[in-house]
Amino acid sequence: MHEMSLCEGILQILQDNAKTQNYTRVHRVRVEVGQFATIEKDALHFCFEVVCRNTLAEGAALDICTAAANTWCMACGKAVVIEDRFSPCPDCGSYQLQTDGGDDIRIKDLEVN
């Protein structure tokens, strides 16, 4: 379950930023997950709750949104949106696609005090 280590990383970022930004409590964390990331959202919620116990983020809400991958079709030269990594270009049907990102996770914003 790599969601646990992801949440540990998120908590570390929150704690590091709390020192430099002078906040003592996290109320909400919004994360953006790439559409091709192999992350189970329910597991991420569960792990976040467990990891944040007895920390500045205990009880914080975790909002997860999905971000589309940037995909470029080398055949027709267009930026396109695809459903999964193995989909063809929706415009020309080519499989000559270059995907940038889509498998990452990042903290989008926080509600703190």
Of 78, 48, 73, nearest in space to 61 by CA: 48
Q: What is the pLDDT of residues 25-52, one digit of tens each?
A: 999 999 999 999 999 999 999 999 999 9
What CATH topology corresponds to 2-69+101-112?
Answer: hypothetical protein PF0899 fold (3.30.2320)
- Specify the pTM: 0.86
Beta carbons of 102 and 36 less than 8 angstroms apart? yes
- As a whole number of angstroms, the distance between CA 22 and CA 54 comes to 18
Give the Cβ contact number of residue 109 at 10 Å. Answer: 11
Scan for tokens 């998120």, then name that residue.
10
List the 70-73 sheet strands across, edge first. 79-80, 70-73, 97-100
Sign of the alpha-carbon torsion through 38, 108, 41, 14: positive
Annotated domain spans of the chain: 2-69+101-112
Q: What is the pLDDT of residues 46-105, one digit of tens each?
A: 999 999 999 999 999 999 999 988 899 999 999 999 988 899 999 999 999 999 889 999
